[in-house]
Amino acid sequence: MSSSQVVSQSVHTLLVPTTAEALLIPSAVVAEVVTVSNLVPLPAGPDWCSGLVAWRNRALPVISIEVLTGRPYVPSGPRSKFVVFFPLPGCHESQFFAIQSLTEPQPNNISDTKGMVVKTPNLPIAASALNLEGVVAIIPDLEWLKETLYPAR
């Protein structure tokens, strides 16, 4: 390959709308997007855990992005989906979790962020932010998320 050839690498992502912030998540960390089912409250759980949902014979914690960003929890609506995450790096292979999306997440291929990077919101969960056709989406800091969800690690 000559030095004049440019290799373009694209990242497959999902744009996940929440009532707090739109999230831009690499598709590689998502196990599945599922229709909202019965969310079972977890009375003694942390405030950011809105409950448990059944998925493939597992009880998954559902993480409230709203609470993690300092806003009140918003219950699911009729078009809501759960985005199921694979266990984060360094976590046990059974530690799947989900977040609630207002609607079906939208797939995106990001190959060039030139002109898309915007000022990162002052939120611990935000590693960066991009403007995707008028929608500012935060890219979550997965290391911060892991430390928040699994503090004993």
Q: How confident is the model at residue 87 (pLDDT cuts 50, 70, 90)?
A: very high
Q: Quick check: is 61 in a domain?
A: yes
Q: Quick check: is 36 in a domain?
A: yes
Residue 125's domain comprises 11-149
Q: Quick check: is 143 in a domain?
A: yes
Q: What is the CATH number of the domain that holds 110?
A: 2.40.50.180
Q: Quick check: is 3 in a domain?
A: no
pLDDT recorded at residue 115: 64
pLDDT tens sequence across 54-83: 999 999 999 988 888 888 877 777 888 999
**b/e burial code for range 69-101 (CB count within 10 A of at least 16 → b):** beeebbebeeebbbbbbebbeebeeebbbbbbb
Q: Quick check: is 125 in a domain?
A: yes
* Domain total of the chain: 1
Q: Quick check: is 2 in a domain?
A: no
Q: Quick check: is 110 in a domain?
A: yes
Q: Whole-prediction pTM value?
A: 0.84
Higher pLDDT, 2 or 41: 41
